Structure 1
Amino acid sequence: MVSTPGRPPGRIIYAGFATRHHSGGVHVMTQHVRLLRERGHEAWLWLPDENDRTDWIADDVPMLFGATTAVGADDLLVLPETPTVQGRDPAPGARKVIFNQNHFYTFAAGTPGEDFPGWSPAPALWVVSEESRDVLTAVLPGLPVSVVPNPVDGELFAPGAAGQLRVSWFPKKRPREASLLKRLLAAEPRLAGVELVELVQAPRAEVAATLAGSAVFVALGHTESYGLPVAEALASGCLVVGYDGGGGHELFEAPGAWRVPDQRPLLIRDRVADLIQDLDALAPVRAANRRWVLDRYPFARTAAALQEAVAAAWARPGADAVAVHPAAWLDTLGPNFTAYA
């Protein structure tokens, strides 16, 4: 059965993964589900196995479970950018979108063909930044691309009471460089008495609490499409120093964000130390960082862009299908597809 104009829209099904520790990409999917439900859509998060359900996904996010699920002619299936395998259509005939949250991973599952991804009908693409839009429009000119910007939660991520000076960072994307940086910062006399915090697989609430008490956040992004930790640090009133990871360059337009040339840990150390020494004078800049990021990435902007992207996707063809969860192709990625530095 093929959908026809005028028929009421159906469900919006996001295929995600129940990772053991908090996943920014899956979290964004849950935000989409909530925003769509608030606006009257029947949106769901689809996980491959009920036994894999994780406690960091809130109970109010409605879920579907199973290696396969039925998709109706009026439904919209939203799939992650990885793993997208050339010619392996997860739902032949169904209306599909690839929600590409990292353009660097687009071809992570193997060599693309000229008609990538070789699905029928061809999917639309949703991305989270202008950089991703520009890259994928150039690489895949036959697929329509919509920007659905990430929202920044200004209630959860907010400045805390002044206390011990703190510098924080995530080492995950650059573990080898992070080990050097930790030693460099600890040995720097100008940072004596400053608490140095590495955020490793921390729950979201712990991340928010740590950023709330941090004066400086060190951005160690690598092959990013956006860089949500940087945005959340700005909302927390942190000064930001480090790497934009490519797609995160728009965040370094904030008044209190300093981009450092790639793989230059000594420059990071020196910039962090200079900022800590001048922290009192920089108080207005920290406040301006929060205003800047919340003005640009409110939930209302995400909701409006998402509504437009959904409407455009529903205008594309769709038919009844049985969808296979993309977990079926995870083995195509290999153990080191992220290539962290």
Structure 2
Amino acid sequence: MVNRPGSYPRRIVYAGFATRHHSGGVHVMTQHVQLLRQSGHEAWLWLPDEDDRTDWIADDVPMLFGATTPIGADDLLVLPETPTIQGRDPALGARKVIFNQNHFYTFAAGESDANFPGWLPAPAIWAVTAESRNVLAAALPELPVRVVPNPVDGELFAPAPGQARPFRVSWFSKKRPREASLLKRLLANDPRLSRVELVELVQAPRAEVAATLATSAVFIALGHTESFGLPVAEALASGCLVVGYDGGGGHELFEAPGAWRVPDQRPLLIRDQVAELIQNIDALAPLRAANRSWVLERNSFAQTDAALQEAVAAAWAGPGDDALAVHPVAWLDSLGPNFTAYA
């Protein structure tokens, strides 16, 4: 669904980016829009250019387009944590929320003052985990912070029915490409893993990711500076055993019964843990099932929806005025070319 910028009563507008390949952060925004509309809210995804429309965003996510869009006094504008620049208010006077999906990116656009971000009115912050909320509350004590947990799609991410798990190990290399290359060689050279199929996921469509996880015995987490770690959560829902790095904010996910945290940048420890799990894979079947139950109990759509409704109600209780909002794409250059470059 597509709509031109205009005035609507009591809207919730999410400013997002249409990346060429699937983006977990933007996808969560679209899930918020869908949940809010299901409960009767006028929710929209705002992209800077109509040509940015991408085929991985669901057709039932309504969109606004333009470098600017009017925000009414009764509206709520939801902005990503990056780029947030001290004193650069994207919608002066409008009611605003920063949906902070990664607390490590909070000050990615530069230094902050004591009144960060210096917007009027001051924004609320939505975080995705308790760890992220606690970090942000300590860094920005003057701003209200609440948790809206990420949902995990248990229908899409599920074990392959009626099928024994093959000796397959999968991982994403995006955030640690150099270490992933080293790890792949370590796994391939280990005689204990000679029967294991190694699957590196690189810019794969979401359906392909789900199909791979559905038939993987072990998922290797190579997260880096995370607030949550959506691939880990989806692997748990798919019935995978999980080994690897929690990325900081993802440590909560490693409380799952079949997840093993490894100290950062220790690929030999990952290799050895994977080998041990593969050698005992049949006996560990109950843990794979327990992983799925564990994550879906904590990150269901119902839990996200309930927290989101409360967060929206709290945000609407604050002041707001008419404004012409500037899409945050205007400040992307402030992040620099190495913003998402990792080891």
| TM-score tier (shorter) | over 0.9
Could you tell me the percent identity over the aligned residues?
Answer: 84
- Whether contact under 8 Å (2:165, 2:217) holds in the other structure is no
1:249 aligns to what?
Answer: 251
Any conservation in 2 of the 1:222–1:245 contact (CA below 8 Å)? yes
The amino acid that maps onto 1:74 is D
Select which of 227, 238, 241 maps to 1:239: 241
> Aligned residue for 1:114?
114
Contact 1:11–1:76 (CA under 8 A) maintained in structure 2: yes
Out of 290, 293, 312, the residue aligned to residue 291 of structure 1 is: 293
- Deviation digits for residues 114-166 of structure 1 (CA, Å, limit 9, x no counterpart): 11001011000001000100000000000000100001110000001225310
Q: Structure 2: give runs of 5+ residues left out of the alignment.
A: 1-7
Residue 228 of structure 1 pairs with residue 251 of structure 2 = no
Distance in 2 separating the partners of 1:340 and 1:225: 16
2:263 — aligned with what? 261
Residue matched to 2:129? 129
**CA drift at 1:113:** 1.2
Paired with 1:27 and 1:35, the residues of 2 have a C-alpha distance of 12
Q: How does 1:176-255 map to 2 (within 5 A)?
A: 176-255=178-257
Letter in 2 for 1:232: E
Deviation at 1:283, TM superposition (A): 0.4
- Root-mean-square deviation (CA, aligned residues, Å) is 1.0
CA deviation map 1:67-126 (0-9, x unaligned): 000000000000000000110000000000000000000000011111100101100000
What number of residue pairs does the alignment pair up?
334
Aligned to 2:310: 308
Residues 9, 314 of structure 1: 8 Å contact kept:
no
Say if 1:36 and 1:42, in contact at 8 Å, map to a contact too: yes
Give the 3-state SS of the residue equivalent to 1:319 in structure 2.
Answer: coil
Task: Please name the residue that 1:66 is paired with.
Answer: 66
Per the alignment, in what secondary structure is the counterpart of residue 58 of structure 1?
Answer: coil
* Aligned twin of 1:26: 26
In structure 2, what is the equivalent of residue 277 of structure 1?
279
Check conservation: 2:77, 2:95, Cα contact below 8 A. Answer: yes
Task: Give 1:340 deviation, angstroms.
Answer: 1.1
Q: SS of 1:286's equivalent? A: helix
**Partner SS, residue 92 of structure 2:** coil
Q: Deviations over 1:234-279 (max 9, x none)?
A: 0000000000000000000000000001100000000000000000
The Cα shift of 1:339 comes to 4.0
Give the whole-Å Cα distance in 1 for the aligned partners of 2:209 and 2:318. 40
The 3-state SS of whatever aligns with 2:146 is strand
TM-score, normalised by the number of residues in structure 1:
0.97
The aligned amino acid for 1:238 is C
- Counterpart-to-counterpart distance in 2, 1:12 and 1:140: 24
Deviation, structure 1 residue 9: 6.8
- 1:296 CA drift (Å): 1.0
Aligned to 1:325: 327
Could you say which residue in structure 1 is the equivalent of 2:140?
140
C-alpha distance in 2, partners of 1:148/1:304?
A: 9
Does 2:81 match 1:81? yes
Distance between the aligned counterparts of 2:52 and 2:285, measured in 1? 44
Do the aligned partners of 2:241 and 2:259 also contact (CA within 8 Å) in 1?
yes
Deviations 1:166-197 (A, max 9, x none): 00000111111101000000011111121100
Whether the 8 Å CA contact 1:80–1:100 is kept in 2: the answer is yes
Contact 2:165/2:216 (<8 A) preserved: no
Indicate if the aligned counterparts of 2:166 and 2:217 stay in contact, CA closer than 8 A: no
Could you tell me which amino acid in structure 2 is paired with residue 57 of structure 1? Answer: I
Q: Which runs of 4+ in 1 moved over 4 A?
A: none
Partner residue in 2 for 1:99? 99
